[in-house]
Structure 1
Amino acid sequence: MPARRISDEPAYVLHRYDWSESSLILELFTRRHGRVAAVAKGAKRPTSNFRPVLLPLQPLRVAYGVAGENAEIHALKGAEWVGGHVMPAGEALLAGTYLNELLLRLLARDDPHIPLFDAYAGVVRVLAGGGTRGDALESVLRAFELLLLREVGLLPSLDAQTLTQGGLATLGRYVLVPEGGLREAASGERSLAGPQWQALQAALDGSGEAGFSAVLRACAPFVADLKPQLRTLLHYHCGASMLRTRQFMMDIQGLLP
Protein backbone atom coordinates (compact mmCIF):
# COMPACT_ATOMS: atom_id res chain seq x y z
CA MET A 1 0.00 0.00 0.00
CA PRO A 2 1.48 3.38 -0.98
CA ALA A 3 2.32 5.79 1.81
CA ARG A 4 -0.14 8.61 2.45
CA ARG A 5 0.75 12.04 3.77
CA ILE A 6 -0.88 13.99 6.60
CA SER A 7 -0.33 17.71 6.07
CA ASP A 8 -1.02 20.97 7.89
CA GLU A 9 -2.02 19.12 11.07
CA PRO A 10 -2.29 21.10 14.35
CA ALA A 11 -0.10 19.35 16.92
CA TYR A 12 1.85 19.58 20.17
CA VAL A 13 4.93 17.63 21.24
CA LEU A 14 4.10 15.61 24.35
CA HIS A 15 7.51 13.96 24.71
CA ARG A 16 10.70 13.30 22.75
CA TYR A 17 13.22 10.46 22.91
CA ASP A 18 16.70 10.09 21.45
CA TRP A 19 16.56 7.63 18.54
CA SER A 20 20.10 7.92 17.25
CA GLU A 21 22.96 10.39 17.42
CA SER A 22 21.05 12.77 15.17
CA SER A 23 17.36 11.83 15.30
CA LEU A 24 14.39 11.90 17.70
CA ILE A 25 11.24 9.89 18.29
CA LEU A 26 8.33 12.22 19.06
CA GLU A 27 5.06 11.60 20.81
CA LEU A 28 2.66 14.10 19.22
CA PHE A 29 -0.87 15.09 20.19
CA THR A 30 -2.60 16.00 16.93
CA ARG A 31 -6.05 17.48 16.49
CA ARG A 32 -7.53 15.14 13.87
CA HIS A 33 -5.52 11.97 14.46
CA GLY A 34 -4.96 11.89 18.22
CA ARG A 35 -1.70 10.75 19.73
CA VAL A 36 0.86 9.63 17.14
CA ALA A 37 4.53 8.68 17.21
CA ALA A 38 6.87 10.08 14.57
CA VAL A 39 10.60 9.95 13.86
CA ALA A 40 12.28 13.29 13.15
CA LYS A 41 15.41 12.33 11.23
CA GLY A 42 18.37 14.63 11.74
CA ALA A 43 16.46 16.78 14.25
CA LYS A 44 19.44 17.00 16.64
CA ARG A 45 21.83 18.38 14.02
CA PRO A 46 22.71 22.07 14.50
CA THR A 47 21.53 22.88 10.97
CA SER A 48 18.18 21.06 11.21
CA ASN A 49 15.03 23.13 10.73
CA PHE A 50 13.38 20.84 13.30
CA ARG A 51 15.83 21.68 16.09
CA PRO A 52 14.29 25.00 17.33
CA VAL A 53 10.69 23.93 16.68
CA LEU A 54 10.11 20.51 18.26
CA LEU A 55 9.52 21.72 21.81
CA PRO A 56 6.71 20.84 24.25
CA LEU A 57 3.81 23.23 24.93
CA GLN A 58 4.29 25.02 21.62
CA PRO A 59 1.57 25.07 18.91
CA LEU A 60 2.80 23.45 15.71
CA ARG A 61 1.62 22.52 12.24
CA VAL A 62 3.15 19.22 11.18
CA ALA A 63 3.27 16.96 8.15
CA TYR A 64 4.13 13.28 8.30
CA GLY A 65 3.98 10.21 6.12
CA VAL A 66 2.00 7.11 7.06
CA ALA A 67 3.57 3.96 5.60
CA GLY A 68 0.55 1.75 6.30
CA GLU A 69 -2.44 1.19 8.55
CA ASN A 70 -0.37 -0.88 10.99
CA ALA A 71 2.63 1.45 11.09
CA GLU A 72 3.36 2.48 14.69
CA ILE A 73 5.93 5.18 13.96
CA HIS A 74 5.49 7.67 11.16
CA ALA A 75 8.08 9.79 9.35
CA LEU A 76 7.95 13.49 10.18
CA LYS A 77 8.18 15.49 6.96
CA GLY A 78 7.71 19.03 8.25
CA ALA A 79 7.00 21.08 11.35
CA GLU A 80 6.53 24.80 11.85
CA TRP A 81 5.78 26.91 14.90
CA VAL A 82 2.37 28.55 14.68
CA GLY A 83 3.27 31.26 17.18
CA GLY A 84 0.91 33.07 19.51
CA HIS A 85 2.63 32.57 22.85
CA VAL A 86 5.96 31.84 24.47
CA MET A 87 6.97 28.76 26.46
CA PRO A 88 5.32 28.57 29.90
CA ALA A 89 7.81 28.98 32.75
CA GLY A 90 8.14 28.01 36.40
CA GLU A 91 5.04 26.56 38.02
CA ALA A 92 3.11 26.77 34.74
CA LEU A 93 5.79 24.76 32.91
CA LEU A 94 5.57 21.98 35.51
CA ALA A 95 1.78 22.02 35.21
CA GLY A 96 1.99 21.67 31.42
CA THR A 97 4.49 18.83 31.75
CA TYR A 98 2.09 17.09 34.14
CA LEU A 99 -0.75 17.35 31.61
CA ASN A 100 1.53 15.93 28.91
CA GLU A 101 2.29 12.94 31.13
CA LEU A 102 -1.41 12.31 31.67
CA LEU A 103 -2.05 12.38 27.92
CA LEU A 104 0.81 9.96 27.28
CA ARG A 105 -0.49 7.52 29.85
CA LEU A 106 -4.21 7.67 29.08
CA LEU A 107 -4.56 8.28 25.33
CA ALA A 108 -4.35 5.36 22.92
CA ARG A 109 -2.47 6.05 19.71
CA ASP A 110 -4.37 7.04 16.58
CA ASP A 111 -7.57 7.75 18.53
CA PRO A 112 -8.80 11.30 17.79
CA HIS A 113 -10.19 13.50 20.57
CA ILE A 114 -10.87 16.86 18.92
CA PRO A 115 -12.72 18.49 21.87
CA LEU A 116 -9.89 17.42 24.19
CA PHE A 117 -7.26 18.81 21.82
CA ASP A 118 -9.08 22.14 21.68
CA ALA A 119 -9.32 22.25 25.48
CA TYR A 120 -5.61 21.38 25.79
CA ALA A 121 -4.67 24.17 23.36
CA GLY A 122 -6.69 26.60 25.47
CA VAL A 123 -5.02 25.44 28.68
CA VAL A 124 -1.55 25.82 27.17
CA ARG A 125 -2.36 29.42 26.17
CA VAL A 126 -3.53 30.12 29.72
CA LEU A 127 -0.35 28.62 31.19
CA ALA A 128 1.83 30.61 28.80
CA GLY A 129 0.09 33.81 29.87
CA GLY A 130 1.85 33.55 33.22
CA GLY A 131 -1.00 34.91 35.34
CA THR A 132 -2.41 31.58 36.54
CA ARG A 133 -1.06 30.54 39.93
CA GLY A 134 -2.19 29.02 43.20
CA ASP A 135 -5.89 28.22 43.38
CA ALA A 136 -6.47 29.45 39.83
CA LEU A 137 -3.87 27.02 38.49
CA GLU A 138 -5.36 24.18 40.56
CA SER A 139 -8.77 24.87 39.04
CA VAL A 140 -7.32 24.76 35.50
CA LEU A 141 -5.68 21.39 36.18
CA ARG A 142 -8.78 19.87 37.77
CA ALA A 143 -10.99 21.01 34.90
CA PHE A 144 -8.67 19.43 32.33
CA GLU A 145 -8.43 16.21 34.35
CA LEU A 146 -12.23 15.92 34.32
CA LEU A 147 -12.40 16.48 30.56
CA LEU A 148 -9.62 13.96 29.94
CA LEU A 149 -11.25 11.26 32.07
CA ARG A 150 -14.59 11.86 30.35
CA GLU A 151 -13.05 11.75 26.86
CA VAL A 152 -11.33 8.38 27.41
CA GLY A 153 -14.40 6.83 29.02
CA LEU A 154 -13.08 6.63 32.58
CA LEU A 155 -15.45 9.10 34.22
CA PRO A 156 -18.90 7.90 35.28
CA SER A 157 -21.96 10.10 35.09
CA LEU A 158 -21.74 12.65 37.90
CA ASP A 159 -25.47 13.24 38.31
CA ALA A 160 -26.35 9.80 39.74
CA GLN A 161 -24.87 7.17 42.05
CA THR A 162 -22.91 4.76 39.86
CA LEU A 163 -23.91 1.37 41.30
CA THR A 164 -27.59 2.07 42.00
CA GLN A 165 -28.24 4.82 39.42
CA GLY A 166 -30.10 6.54 42.23
CA GLY A 167 -30.40 10.30 42.22
CA LEU A 168 -28.20 12.61 44.28
CA ALA A 169 -29.78 14.16 47.35
CA THR A 170 -29.50 17.90 47.75
CA LEU A 171 -28.06 17.53 51.25
CA GLY A 172 -26.11 14.33 50.50
CA ARG A 173 -22.33 14.07 50.19
CA TYR A 174 -20.73 11.84 47.56
CA VAL A 175 -17.21 10.67 46.72
CA LEU A 176 -15.68 9.54 43.41
CA VAL A 177 -13.64 6.33 43.77
CA PRO A 178 -11.92 3.91 41.34
CA GLU A 179 -14.13 1.01 40.23
CA GLY A 180 -16.98 2.16 42.47
CA GLY A 181 -17.64 5.46 40.70
CA LEU A 182 -19.78 8.00 42.55
CA ARG A 183 -21.12 6.75 45.90
CA GLU A 184 -22.30 8.12 49.22
CA ALA A 185 -19.41 9.44 51.29
CA ALA A 186 -18.46 7.98 54.63
CA SER A 187 -17.83 10.25 57.59
CA GLY A 188 -14.56 12.16 57.18
CA GLU A 189 -14.09 11.45 53.46
CA ARG A 190 -13.28 14.32 51.10
CA SER A 191 -16.46 14.66 49.11
CA LEU A 192 -18.79 17.02 47.25
CA ALA A 193 -22.47 17.76 47.75
CA GLY A 194 -25.02 16.37 45.32
CA PRO A 195 -25.70 19.73 43.58
CA GLN A 196 -21.96 20.27 43.11
CA TRP A 197 -21.55 16.97 41.26
CA GLN A 198 -24.63 17.77 39.18
CA ALA A 199 -23.16 21.17 38.25
CA LEU A 200 -19.97 19.46 37.09
CA GLN A 201 -21.94 17.04 34.92
CA ALA A 202 -23.89 19.89 33.35
CA ALA A 203 -20.62 21.68 32.54
CA LEU A 204 -19.07 18.53 31.08
CA ASP A 205 -21.96 18.25 28.65
CA GLY A 206 -20.39 21.15 26.73
CA SER A 207 -17.53 20.64 24.27
CA GLY A 208 -14.21 22.13 23.19
CA GLU A 209 -12.88 25.32 24.74
CA ALA A 210 -16.37 26.53 25.66
CA GLY A 211 -16.90 23.28 27.56
CA PHE A 212 -13.59 23.71 29.34
CA SER A 213 -14.52 27.20 30.51
CA ALA A 214 -17.81 25.90 31.90
CA VAL A 215 -16.06 23.04 33.75
CA LEU A 216 -13.47 25.48 35.09
CA ARG A 217 -16.16 27.74 36.54
CA ALA A 218 -18.05 24.77 37.98
CA CYS A 219 -15.13 23.20 39.84
CA ALA A 220 -13.39 26.37 41.07
CA PRO A 221 -15.45 26.81 44.30
CA PHE A 222 -14.59 23.34 45.66
CA VAL A 223 -11.33 22.45 43.94
CA ALA A 224 -9.63 21.49 47.23
CA ASP A 225 -12.14 18.70 47.85
CA LEU A 226 -12.09 17.59 44.22
CA LYS A 227 -8.30 17.31 43.92
CA PRO A 228 -7.66 14.19 46.09
CA GLN A 229 -10.56 12.32 44.48
CA LEU A 230 -9.32 12.97 40.96
CA ARG A 231 -5.73 12.21 41.95
CA THR A 232 -6.72 8.79 43.31
CA LEU A 233 -8.74 8.03 40.17
CA LEU A 234 -5.96 9.12 37.83
CA HIS A 235 -3.27 7.17 39.65
CA TYR A 236 -5.46 4.08 39.52
CA HIS A 237 -6.04 4.30 35.76
CA CYS A 238 -2.44 5.31 35.02
CA GLY A 239 -1.21 2.28 36.94
CA ALA A 240 1.10 4.39 39.10
CA SER A 241 1.05 5.37 42.75
CA MET A 242 2.94 8.56 41.87
CA LEU A 243 3.25 10.27 38.49
CA ARG A 244 6.80 11.22 37.53
CA THR A 245 5.93 14.90 37.19
CA ARG A 246 4.40 15.05 40.67
CA GLN A 247 7.42 13.27 42.17
CA PHE A 248 9.68 15.80 40.45
CA MET A 249 7.66 18.70 41.90
CA MET A 250 7.90 17.19 45.39
CA ASP A 251 11.66 16.72 44.99
CA ILE A 252 12.06 20.38 44.06
CA GLN A 253 9.98 21.49 47.04
CA GLY A 254 12.16 19.35 49.30
CA LEU A 255 15.24 21.26 48.15
CA LEU A 256 13.76 24.65 48.98
CA PRO A 257 14.71 26.22 52.34
Structure 2
Amino acid sequence: MATKRISDEPAFILHQYDWSESSLILEVFTRHHGRVALVAKGAKKPTSNFRSVLLALQPLRVTYSVSGEGHGDIHALRGAEWAGGHVMPSGDALLSGLYLNELLMRLLAREDTHAPLFDTYAGVVRVLASEHGDALEPVLRSFELVLLREIGLLPDLHVETNTLTALDAERRYTLVAEGGLRAAAAGDRATLTGSHWQSLHAALGGEDRYLATFRTLVGDGAQLASDLKPQLRALVQYHCGSPMLRTRQLMMDLQSL
Protein backbone atom coordinates (compact mmCIF):
# COMPACT_ATOMS: atom_id res chain seq x y z
CA MET A 1 0.00 0.00 0.00
CA ALA A 2 1.42 3.35 -1.09
CA THR A 3 2.35 5.84 1.61
CA LYS A 4 2.45 9.60 1.08
CA ARG A 5 4.37 11.95 3.34
CA ILE A 6 3.10 15.42 4.26
CA SER A 7 6.04 17.53 5.43
CA ASP A 8 6.34 20.83 7.33
CA GLU A 9 2.59 21.45 7.26
CA PRO A 10 1.38 24.54 9.20
CA ALA A 11 -0.93 23.28 11.92
CA PHE A 12 -2.65 23.84 15.25
CA ILE A 13 -3.78 21.15 17.68
CA LEU A 14 -7.49 21.43 18.41
CA HIS A 15 -7.87 18.48 20.78
CA GLN A 16 -6.04 15.40 22.01
CA TYR A 17 -6.99 12.24 23.86
CA ASP A 18 -5.35 9.04 25.03
CA TRP A 19 -4.90 6.25 22.52
CA SER A 20 -2.85 3.89 24.67
CA GLU A 21 -0.69 4.07 27.77
CA SER A 22 2.00 5.90 25.84
CA SER A 23 0.33 7.43 22.76
CA LEU A 24 -2.14 10.17 21.84
CA ILE A 25 -4.69 10.83 19.13
CA LEU A 26 -4.50 14.44 17.95
CA GLU A 27 -7.19 16.40 16.16
CA VAL A 28 -5.18 18.87 14.11
CA PHE A 29 -6.20 21.83 11.95
CA THR A 30 -3.80 22.08 9.01
CA ARG A 31 -3.58 24.81 6.40
CA HIS A 32 -3.58 22.69 3.26
CA HIS A 33 -5.42 19.55 4.35
CA GLY A 34 -8.06 20.78 6.80
CA ARG A 35 -8.84 18.91 10.00
CA VAL A 36 -6.94 15.64 10.27
CA ALA A 37 -6.50 12.99 12.96
CA LEU A 38 -2.94 11.96 13.82
CA VAL A 39 -1.59 9.33 16.17
CA ALA A 40 1.46 10.46 18.12
CA LYS A 41 3.06 7.20 19.17
CA GLY A 42 5.00 7.33 22.42
CA ALA A 43 4.07 11.00 22.97
CA LYS A 44 3.28 10.41 26.66
CA LYS A 45 6.67 8.90 27.45
CA PRO A 46 8.98 11.10 29.54
CA THR A 47 11.67 10.83 26.86
CA SER A 48 9.40 11.82 23.95
CA ASN A 49 10.37 14.90 21.95
CA PHE A 50 6.65 15.55 21.42
CA ARG A 51 5.83 16.25 25.08
CA SER A 52 6.81 19.92 25.09
CA VAL A 53 5.51 20.64 21.57
CA LEU A 54 2.02 19.17 21.29
CA LEU A 55 0.12 22.07 22.86
CA ALA A 56 -3.11 23.76 21.83
CA LEU A 57 -3.08 27.37 20.58
CA GLN A 58 0.54 27.12 19.48
CA PRO A 59 1.64 27.34 15.81
CA LEU A 60 3.31 24.11 14.70
CA ARG A 61 4.90 22.53 11.66
CA VAL A 62 3.95 18.87 11.47
CA THR A 63 5.09 15.97 9.31
CA TYR A 64 2.92 12.90 8.95
CA SER A 65 2.44 9.90 6.69
CA VAL A 66 -0.77 9.05 4.84
CA SER A 67 -1.48 5.45 3.88
CA GLY A 68 -3.85 4.29 1.13
CA GLU A 69 -6.54 6.74 0.03
CA GLY A 70 -5.96 8.83 3.13
CA HIS A 71 -9.55 10.01 3.55
CA GLY A 72 -11.09 9.59 7.00
CA ASP A 73 -8.11 7.69 8.36
CA ILE A 74 -5.92 8.31 11.37
CA HIS A 75 -2.48 9.18 10.07
CA ALA A 76 0.89 8.69 11.74
CA LEU A 77 2.64 11.77 13.13
CA ARG A 78 6.33 11.69 12.20
CA GLY A 79 7.51 15.05 13.46
CA ALA A 80 6.32 18.29 15.07
CA GLU A 81 8.12 21.58 15.69
CA TRP A 82 6.99 24.80 17.32
CA ALA A 83 6.74 27.46 14.63
CA GLY A 84 7.25 30.28 17.15
CA GLY A 85 5.56 33.63 17.26
CA HIS A 86 3.72 34.03 20.56
CA VAL A 87 3.23 32.75 24.07
CA MET A 88 0.27 30.76 25.35
CA PRO A 89 -2.92 32.81 25.90
CA SER A 90 -4.09 32.96 29.51
CA GLY A 91 -7.24 33.71 31.51
CA ASP A 92 -10.31 34.63 29.47
CA ALA A 93 -8.24 34.57 26.29
CA LEU A 94 -7.28 30.94 26.93
CA LEU A 95 -10.92 29.95 27.44
CA SER A 96 -11.83 31.85 24.29
CA GLY A 97 -9.17 30.01 22.31
CA LEU A 98 -10.42 26.65 23.56
CA TYR A 99 -13.94 27.72 22.58
CA LEU A 100 -12.77 28.41 19.02
CA ASN A 101 -11.05 25.01 18.97
CA GLU A 102 -14.29 23.31 19.97
CA LEU A 103 -16.17 25.16 17.22
CA LEU A 104 -13.70 23.90 14.62
CA MET A 105 -13.92 20.39 16.02
CA ARG A 106 -17.72 20.38 15.88
CA LEU A 107 -18.29 22.22 12.59
CA LEU A 108 -15.43 21.31 10.24
CA ALA A 109 -15.59 18.06 8.30
CA ARG A 110 -12.44 15.95 8.24
CA GLU A 111 -9.96 16.78 5.47
CA ASP A 112 -11.94 19.68 4.00
CA THR A 113 -9.39 22.36 3.12
CA HIS A 114 -10.06 25.86 4.48
CA ALA A 115 -6.79 27.75 3.99
CA PRO A 116 -8.28 31.27 4.42
CA LEU A 117 -10.03 30.14 7.61
CA PHE A 118 -6.76 28.65 8.87
CA ASP A 119 -5.02 32.00 8.32
CA THR A 120 -7.84 33.80 10.13
CA TYR A 121 -7.63 31.37 13.05
CA ALA A 122 -3.86 31.82 13.27
CA GLY A 123 -4.30 35.60 13.40
CA VAL A 124 -6.98 35.36 16.08
CA VAL A 125 -4.76 33.14 18.24
CA ARG A 126 -1.99 35.75 17.99
CA VAL A 127 -4.45 38.39 19.18
CA LEU A 128 -5.55 36.19 22.09
CA ALA A 129 -1.92 35.80 23.14
CA SER A 130 -1.34 39.56 23.04
CA GLU A 131 -2.50 42.51 25.12
CA HIS A 132 -5.89 42.61 23.40
CA GLY A 133 -7.59 44.97 25.85
CA ASP A 134 -11.34 45.23 25.25
CA ALA A 135 -11.14 43.64 21.80
CA LEU A 136 -11.99 40.09 22.94
CA GLU A 137 -15.73 40.37 22.25
CA PRO A 138 -15.48 41.64 18.64
CA VAL A 139 -12.60 39.21 18.00
CA LEU A 140 -14.81 36.22 18.87
CA ARG A 141 -17.91 37.53 17.07
CA SER A 142 -15.88 38.23 13.93
CA PHE A 143 -14.44 34.72 13.94
CA GLU A 144 -17.87 33.15 14.43
CA LEU A 145 -19.22 35.11 11.45
CA VAL A 146 -16.29 34.22 9.21
CA LEU A 147 -16.44 30.54 10.22
CA LEU A 148 -20.19 30.29 9.57
CA ARG A 149 -19.84 32.05 6.21
CA GLU A 150 -16.86 29.88 5.20
CA ILE A 151 -18.75 26.61 5.72
CA GLY A 152 -22.05 27.84 4.28
CA LEU A 153 -24.09 28.08 7.49
CA LEU A 154 -24.65 31.85 7.57
CA PRO A 155 -27.60 33.29 5.63
CA ASP A 156 -27.19 36.39 3.52
CA LEU A 157 -27.28 39.38 5.82
CA HIS A 158 -28.63 41.98 3.39
CA VAL A 159 -32.10 40.44 2.91
CA GLU A 160 -34.80 38.80 5.01
CA THR A 161 -34.21 35.06 4.68
CA ASN A 162 -37.79 33.90 4.06
CA THR A 163 -38.88 36.63 1.66
CA LEU A 164 -35.53 37.78 0.17
CA THR A 165 -36.76 41.32 0.77
CA ALA A 166 -34.02 43.92 1.04
CA LEU A 167 -33.49 45.21 4.58
CA ASP A 168 -34.72 48.61 5.65
CA ALA A 169 -31.69 50.45 7.00
CA GLU A 170 -33.64 51.93 9.93
CA ARG A 171 -35.65 48.87 10.89
CA ARG A 172 -34.39 46.27 13.35
CA TYR A 173 -33.85 42.62 12.51
CA THR A 174 -32.80 39.50 14.40
CA LEU A 175 -30.92 36.36 13.36
CA VAL A 176 -32.66 33.18 14.50
CA ALA A 177 -31.23 29.68 14.30
CA GLU A 178 -34.02 28.00 12.30
CA GLY A 179 -35.38 30.93 10.33
CA GLY A 180 -32.40 33.05 9.38
CA LEU A 181 -32.69 36.84 9.36
CA ARG A 182 -36.16 38.28 10.00
CA ALA A 183 -37.79 41.50 11.14
CA ALA A 184 -37.62 41.92 14.91
CA ALA A 185 -40.73 41.25 16.97
CA ALA A 186 -41.77 42.99 20.17
CA GLY A 187 -40.25 40.35 22.43
CA ASP A 188 -36.84 40.15 20.70
CA ARG A 189 -34.06 41.49 22.90
CA ALA A 190 -31.05 41.01 20.64
CA THR A 191 -31.49 42.90 17.38
CA LEU A 192 -29.47 44.98 14.94
CA THR A 193 -30.57 47.65 12.50
CA GLY A 194 -30.78 46.85 8.82
CA SER A 195 -27.80 49.13 8.16
CA HIS A 196 -25.68 47.16 10.62
CA TRP A 197 -26.60 43.83 8.99
CA GLN A 198 -25.85 45.31 5.58
CA SER A 199 -22.44 46.51 6.77
CA LEU A 200 -21.61 43.05 8.10
CA HIS A 201 -22.75 41.49 4.82
CA ALA A 202 -20.46 43.79 2.86
CA ALA A 203 -17.54 43.10 5.20
CA LEU A 204 -17.95 39.33 4.83
CA GLY A 205 -17.96 39.65 1.06
CA GLY A 206 -14.58 41.38 0.84
CA GLU A 207 -11.08 39.98 0.43
CA ASP A 208 -10.07 40.13 4.09
CA ARG A 209 -13.34 39.03 5.66
CA TYR A 210 -12.12 38.86 9.21
CA LEU A 211 -10.42 42.25 9.38
CA ALA A 212 -13.30 44.01 7.63
CA THR A 213 -15.84 42.36 9.94
CA PHE A 214 -13.79 43.22 13.02
CA ARG A 215 -13.54 46.86 11.94
CA THR A 216 -17.29 46.96 11.39
CA LEU A 217 -17.94 45.67 14.90
CA VAL A 218 -15.50 47.96 16.69
CA GLY A 219 -16.56 50.95 14.61
CA ASP A 220 -19.87 51.14 16.47
CA GLY A 221 -18.47 50.44 19.92
CA ALA A 222 -19.09 47.50 22.22
CA GLN A 223 -22.87 47.44 21.87
CA LEU A 224 -22.94 46.00 18.36
CA ALA A 225 -20.79 42.98 19.28
CA SER A 226 -22.79 42.56 22.50
CA ASP A 227 -26.13 42.54 20.63
CA LEU A 228 -24.72 40.09 18.10
CA LYS A 229 -23.45 37.64 20.72
CA PRO A 230 -26.67 35.82 21.75
CA GLN A 231 -27.82 35.59 18.13
CA LEU A 232 -24.59 34.00 16.93
CA ARG A 233 -24.30 31.75 19.95
CA ALA A 234 -27.79 30.35 19.30
CA LEU A 235 -26.97 29.80 15.61
CA VAL A 236 -23.66 28.13 16.43
CA GLN A 237 -25.23 25.81 19.00
CA TYR A 238 -28.03 24.93 16.57
CA HIS A 239 -25.53 23.72 13.99
CA CYS A 240 -23.30 22.04 16.57
CA GLY A 241 -26.27 20.11 17.96
CA SER A 242 -26.38 18.55 21.41
CA PRO A 243 -24.85 18.57 23.91
CA MET A 244 -24.02 22.17 24.78
CA LEU A 245 -20.50 23.22 23.88
CA ARG A 246 -18.31 22.24 26.80
CA THR A 247 -16.29 25.46 26.76
CA ARG A 248 -19.49 27.53 26.91
CA GLN A 249 -20.75 25.48 29.86
CA LEU A 250 -17.39 26.01 31.58
CA MET A 251 -17.62 29.78 31.05
CA MET A 252 -21.13 29.79 32.50
CA ASP A 253 -20.02 27.77 35.51
CA LEU A 254 -17.11 30.13 36.19
CA GLN A 255 -19.35 33.19 35.94
CA SER A 256 -21.73 31.69 38.52
CA LEU A 257 -19.00 31.22 41.16
TM-score band by shorter chain is over 0.9
Q: Which residue of 1 aligns with 2:117?
A: 116
Q: Specify which of 209, 216, 225 is matched with residue 218 of structure 1.
A: 216
Stretches (4+) displaced over 3 A:
none
Offset from partner CA, 1:133-160 (integer Å, 9 cap, x none): 44x2111000000011011110011111
Deviations 1:208-237 (A, max 9, x none): xx3211111112330111001001101110
Corresponding residue SS for 2:56:
coil
Is there any run of 5+ residues in structure 2 with no aligned partner, and where?
Answer: none
Aligned residues: 251
Please list the CA deviations of residues 108-130 of structure 1 after superposition, one character each: whole Å capped at 9, or x if unmatched: 0000111110000000000001x
* Aligned ranges 1:75-154 → 2 under 5 Å: 75-129=76-130, 131-134=131-134, 136-154=135-153
How many angstroms apart in 2 are the aligned matches of 1:2 and 1:218? 49
Out of 250, 253, 256, the position equivalent to 1:251 is 253
> Which consecutive residues of structure 1, in runs of 5 or more, have no partner in the other structure?
none
Q: Which amino acid aligns with 2:4?
A: R
SS across alignment from 2:9: strand
Q: Deviations over 1:172-200 (max 9, x none)?
A: 11111122111111113111111100100
TM-score between both structures, scaled by the size of structure 2: 0.94
Is the CA contact (8 Å cut-off) linking 1:91 and 1:133 kept in structure 2? no
Q: Provide the residue aligned with 1:16 in structure 2.
A: 16
TM-score, length basis structure 1: 0.94
Deviation at 1:171, TM superposition (A): 1.4
1:250 Cα deviation from its structure 2 partner? 1.9
Q: Kindly provide the CA deviation profile for residues 26-76 of structure 1, in whole angstroms up to 9, marking residues without a partner as x.
A: 000000111000000001111111110000000000011111224520000
Deviations 1:221-257 (A, max 9, x none): 30111001001101110103631001112222333xx
Mark the CA change 1:253 to 1:178 in structure 2 (over 3 Å): closer, same or farther. closer
Q: Which range moved further: 20-29 or 70-79?
A: 70-79
What RMSD in Å do the two structures reach over aligned CA positions? 1.2
- In structure 1, the residue matched to 2:50 is 50
Report the AA paired with residue 193 of structure 2: A
1:250 aligned counterpart, secondary structure: helix
CA distance in 1, matches of 2:6, 2:141: 33
The answer to whether the Cα contact below 8 Å between 1:17 and 1:25 also exists between their aligned partners in 2 is: yes
